[in-house]
Structure 1
Amino acid sequence: MMLPPSPVTPTIDLDTRGDAPGARHGFLRLPWSRDDSAWGSVMIPIAVLSGGDGPTALLTGANHGDEYEGPIALFDLARSLDPATLAGRVIIVPTLNAPAFRAGTRTSPIDRGNLNRSFPGSPTGSVTEKIADYVTRELLPRADIVLDFHSGGRTLDFIPFAAAHVLPDKAQEARAKAAVAAFAAPYSVQMLEIDNVGMYDTTAEAAGKTFVTTELGGGGTARAETVAIARRGVRNLLAHAGVLRGAPEPGETRWLDMPSGECFTFAEDDGLMEPVVDLGTVVAAGDVVARIHPVTRTGLAPVELRAGLSGLLAARHFPGLVKAGDCAAVVAVPI
């Protein structure tokens, strides 16, 4: 069945390249009628920078609205990247889930939609599904390589890494891993997702795109270190893809593997979380990585959370309080 057209309208030309190189800044405008604006719209900033015929890179941030390294790096790149240095086209959407970004929340305040679980989307669905549909049908087909910035948001904290997924198509997987290596974050991860239904990643990879993602910290903030990694990494990726003239800036990276669900330790109790080891610490399978202290009364012993396999602590629950079902720790295995 043929889908109806997307209700999203770009305010700039996304496609003019060789005959009109330069930078164009505008919006993806999505109608949204609401109490304070009957004929209102969601306005998602977008930039298209062209330097002539060549590959196209699609760069996105704030897929989750409380993750900030990507938006910082991409707003800066959209302003500072000289089209004369390009051998292709760059499409930049710094705040893909603009409603969530403006609210500082993981999900959209409009419909509680998690954009990274809403793909491929629908042109007749919720606001979040309409954004996903536009990306799927209009932006992804234009791209050769895709970079979607993430960090841990308010609930997780990560060692800074870029990542590629384990894929059935090993040639596609190899292209993604080469792009991750060029990004040159302190850590690079080959990742097997435990929950990939509805993800932007899955949709892009199913379309045959070279897809790179990141986790560059967390806690609902950004650090100077992680912003610098994002800024250097995106330019390195563009150079690697042949979109930006020149070579990537060399940098050392340490490869890690997240091979199975045993990487993840989940809380089974509510309480006050005590980290026992810090990010980047080497642990053995069975080591205690955190404790959950009961808070309803004194005299109760804490519950110990243990690593499922040997490796290093790559992520942890960030807030001081934890609930049953929360991801408490993630261990990745050095390659």
Structure 2
Amino acid sequence: MQLIPSPISATLDFAAPGVSHGFLRLPYSRDDAAWGSIMIPITVVNNGEGPTALLTGANHGDEYEGPIALFDLAATIRAEDVTGRIIIVPAMNYPAFGAGTRTSPLDRGNLNRSFPGRPDGTVTQKIADYFQRVLLPMADVVLDFHSGGKTLDFLPYCAGHILSDKRQEAAAFDLVRAFGAPWSVKMLEIDAVGMYDTAAEEMGKVFVTTELGGGGTSSARTAGIAKRGLRNLLIAAGVMKGGVQAQPTQWLDMPDADCFTFAEDGGLIEFLADLGDVLEKGQPVARIFPVMRTGLAPVTVHAGRSGLMMARHFPGIVKPGDCVAVIGVEVEE
């Protein structure tokens, strides 16, 4: 079967020396532009011999620390600071980023569940396909910034995944350590099918991610963590010159699915614990009040395991099946 080429084209040369700014141009015919395009900003920096780092933000469009750190890096980076190649895509799901939504407003596609993508599919599938077939194969190290978006709030952490390849896992945890977020997580994914993370790791790439705050906004603190951690990671990966600014971090483990607590009822949520609180297994985490009428007793949601509350549902209304809380276990490095 003949491989269908990607419809996306880059307006820059990935091998050109120095700093290059351009776009990934995806043709998109729409009502207001018959021959229109989606223009995804990209910066490529080449200088000398060294590994390639692929840096991405706004995989989900309502998460902002990553785009802040990456637009800032693209505006300030100098070629002489680089020892290899850096590919910067501050808003990989650009349609979602422009709309401030988790998924694309064009096809409701969740980019982080769309890999390996399709060159003849929806807009989101075409973006995934380009990363799968063009950008990821170039990379040695991949950093994909995430935050809680509009529906979750997190303790600010950097994470690597628990992998069967322990050398690949160890390399990722080394970069997590260098990033220097207040918390560092050995992450267990419960929904890994179609993820950018999975695509990168199956290619043998060293993959690191973050969760930095949430609520569909950012703060000076979380943006600062993103910018400092980005620089530290690039230096530790051998892609940027300088010294790592070491920061204290507390490691958390996610040993099993009991870390995740889900709502079985919908309604108004009252949290009984806050981020960073230590919980015992079975301890009440939240109450959910039915809102169809008054006089009904709330339903209590309990912790599935003992540990530290590292994430929580953000809006005040929950639906059945929503993740209410995530509990991690504090561990020594």
TM-score by length of 2: 0.98
User: For 2:207 and 2:243, how far apart are their aligned partners in 1?
Assistant: 20
Conservation of the 8 A alpha-carbon contact between 1:3 and 1:123: no
**Alignment-derived partner of residue 244 in structure 2:** 248
User: For 2:139 and 2:212, how far apart are their aligned partners in 1?
Assistant: 23
Which of 135, 143, 147 is equivalent to 1:151? 147
User: For 1:321 and 1:85, how far apart are their aligned partners in 2?
Assistant: 47
Paired positions, count: 331
User: For 1:145 and 1:230, how far apart are their aligned partners in 2?
Assistant: 17
User: For 1:192 and 1:70, how far apart are their aligned partners in 2?
Assistant: 21
Which of 167, 175, 180 is equivalent to 1:184? 180
The amino acid that maps onto 2:25 is: R
Which of 252, 255, 259 is equivalent to 2:255? 259
Q: Determine helix, strand or coil for the equivalent of 1:129.
A: helix
Deviation at 1:2, TM superposition (A): 4.0
**Structure 1, 49-58 or 324-333: larger mean CA deviation:** 49-58
Q: Determine helix, strand or coil for the equivalent of 1:28.
A: strand
- Pairing 1:205-284 to 2, within 5 Å after superposition: 205-284=201-280
The amino acid that maps onto 2:328 is: A
Where structure 2 has 5 or more consecutive residues not aligned to the other structure, the ranges are none
User: How large is the Cα RMSD of the aligned pairs?
Assistant: 0.7
Where structure 1 has 5 or more consecutive residues not aligned to the other structure, the ranges are none
Q: Determine helix, strand or coil for the equivalent of 1:27.
A: strand
* Seq. identity, %: 66
**Alignment-derived partner of residue 6 in structure 1:** 6
TM-score by length of 1: 0.98
Alignment partner of 1:100 is 2:74: no
Deviation at 1:247, TM superposition (A): 2.0
Per-residue CA deviations over 1:146-196 (Å, capped at 9, x if unaligned) read: 000000000000000000001110000000000100001000000111100
User: For 2:180 and 2:302, how far apart are their aligned partners in 1?
Assistant: 31
Conservation of the 8 A alpha-carbon contact between 1:194 and 1:260: no
User: For 2:176 and 2:246, how far apart are their aligned partners in 1?
Assistant: 13
Which of 285, 294, 301 is equivalent to 2:297? 301
Deviation at 1:259, TM superposition (A): 1.5
**Alignment-derived partner of residue 108 in structure 2:** 112
Runs of 4+ in 1 over 6 A off after TM superposition: none
**Alignment-derived partner of residue 286 in structure 1:** 282
The amino acid that maps onto 1:89 is: R
Alignment partner of 1:34 is 2:27: no
User: For 2:110 and 2:14, how far apart are their aligned partners in 1?
Assistant: 26
The amino acid that maps onto 1:256 is: L
Deviation at 1:215, TM superposition (A): 0.2
**Alignment-derived partner of residue 50 in structure 1:** 46
User: For 2:328 and 2:280, how far apart are their aligned partners in 1?
Assistant: 11
Conservation of the 8 A alpha-carbon contact between 1:166 and 1:173: yes
Deviation at 1:3, TM superposition (A): 2.1
Conservation of the 8 A alpha-carbon contact between 2:15 and 2:46: no
The amino acid that maps onto 1:296 is: M
**Alignment-derived partner of residue 131 in structure 2:** 135
**Alignment-derived partner of residue 61 in structure 1:** 57
Deviation at 1:30, TM superposition (A): 0.3
Q: Cα distance 1:86–1:287, how it changes in 2: closer, same or farther (>3 A)?
A: same
**Alignment-derived partner of residue 319 in structure 2:** 323
